[in-house]
Amino acid sequence: MFQLAREVVPACPENRGPVPGTVWLGPAILVAGLAVLVTCLGCEPESTASFASFETVWGARGITDGRFQKPRAMAIDAEDQIYVVDMTARIQVFRSDGRFLRAWSTPDHQFGKPTGLSVGIDGRILVADTHYYRILIYSPEGLLVQTIGGVQGERPGEFGLVTDAVQDSQGNYYVSEYGEYDRIQKFSPSGRFLAEWGGHGSEPGKFMRPQNLAVDENDHVWVADACNHRIQEFDSQGRFLQMWGTQGGAAGELHYPYDLVLDSPGTLLVAEFGNHRVQRFTRDGRSLGVWGVQGRGEGQLYNPWALVQDHQGRIHVLDTNNHRVQVIRPHAANR
């Protein structure tokens, strides 16, 4: 019964205080966090306008090729091939127009399905095999080539419930997890543990379900801190840089941000599970517009988990509880 509840609603455990084995980042982080709050005073009003227009939709509910059963993560490669994982534990591959290409399944899925997916710097597919405490690394064709983790625990190299994995320009891996630990661990390209930071909490540098990661051109790590309803940025060593976001439904506010994409104009796209929308921000947290409302029709979303952007600038939104992908195109001024 608990397993089912965790799959349906965001898991936001109560604040339990510091977690043994995590890094305390110290008073400097509190000062930095206060600085972020101060700099936001007097910010320009956030835009309530839509920054994009609906273009098309593809996919439908089902378990056959090209259909979805509550899809929960997606990624896009250099050839604009889109990878989607759903509650059948299948990773399906599509062209950017939604045409099905191929699929494979994770080796074990009795106790839960993956909730994170990304493409590494060499084109390999990184799967957050959440309930098996590991990262599965595949070739684009679905051949399993590497595994990181596999043991539940709080020690370095062990994991709680893994949510995402990304690589920096040097090939290092960053892996996020929630549950008992709410932290990020860093590994070398070969899978050797290098560092960790975070811990359960709402202070700057702490997390409550870090659901998704992204790495920018400076190898800074951006975190969708879902149950704190905010975005955080760190350098490659885990030093806190900034955070922004507060819970709510107005433009500029966030409600369970589950995915983020650093798009080409130097802005940031966020999929909000709780607000049933996509929001675009500057990298210092000013809203540039929203798209989507709750519903079942075209141009409406129901608990979106993820999004990607193709080389044409189109945004593909994983409309999870509508079991489909919606495609939107930013307005010319927002590209």
What mean pLDDT do residues 217-224 have? 97
Give me the amino acid identity at 91.
I
pLDDT surpasses 50 at 38: no
What's the predicted TM-score (pTM) here? 0.87
pLDDT at residue 35, as a whole number: 41
Q: Among positive and negative, which fits the CA dihedral 118, 124, 127, 133?
A: negative
Q: Residue 2: pLDDT band by 50, 70, 90 thresholds?
A: very low
Question: Could you read off the pLDDT of 160-204 as tens digits, one per residue?
Answer: 999 999 999 999 999 999 998 999 999 999 999 999 999 999 999
CB of 54 closer than 8 Å to CB of 328? yes
Question: Could you read off the pLDDT of 77-107 as tens digits, one per residue?
Answer: 999 999 999 999 999 999 999 999 999 999 9
Q: Among positive and negative, which fits the CA dihedral 19, 23, 29, 33?
A: negative
Mapped onto helix, strand or coil, the DSSP state of residue 145 is: strand
Of residues 129 and 181, the one with the higher pLDDT is 129
Question: Could you read off the pLDDT of 294-310 as tens digits, one per residue?
Answer: 999 999 999 999 999 99
CB of 229 closer than 8 Å to CB of 256? yes
What mean pLDDT do residues 269-288 have? 97
Alpha-carbon separation of residue 68 from 57, 92, 185, 234, 320 (angstroms): 13, 9, 31, 34, 9
Closest CA to 98 of 137, 65, 66, 63: 66
DSSP 254: B
pLDDT surpasses 50 at 1: no
Q: Residue 26: pLDDT band by 50, 70, 90 thresholds?
A: very low
Give me the amino acid identity at 248.
G
- Distance in angstroms (rounded) separating the CA atoms of residues 243 and 75: 24
CB of 175 closer than 8 Å to CB of 195? no
Q: Residue 43: pLDDT band by 50, 70, 90 thresholds?
A: very low
Mean pLDDT estimate for the chain: 88
pLDDT surpasses 50 at 4: no
pLDDT at residue 11, as a whole number: 59
DSSP 294: B
Looking up tokens 């939709």 gives: 57
Q: Which two tokens stand for residue 83?
A: 């990878």
Percent of the chain predicted with pLDDT > 70:
85
pLDDT surpasses 90 at 24: no
pLDDT at residue 39, as a whole number: 37
CB of 293 closer than 8 Å to CB of 277? yes
Q: Residue 131: pLDDT band by 50, 70, 90 thresholds?
A: very high
pLDDT surpasses 70 at 47: no
Count the Cβ atoms, other than its own, within 10 Å of residue 229: 22
Question: Could you read off the pLDDT of 104-125 as tens digits, one per residue?
Answer: 999 999 999 999 999 999 999 9
Alpha-carbon separation of residue 163 from 115, 175, 217, 240, 314 (angstroms): 6, 8, 22, 20, 25
| Residue 307 bridge partners (DSSP) | 317
- Distance in angstroms (rounded) separating the CA atoms of residues 229 and 51: 21
Question: Could you read off the pLDDT of 262-278 as tens digits, one per residue?
Answer: 987 789 999 999 999 99
pLDDT surpasses 80 at 252: yes
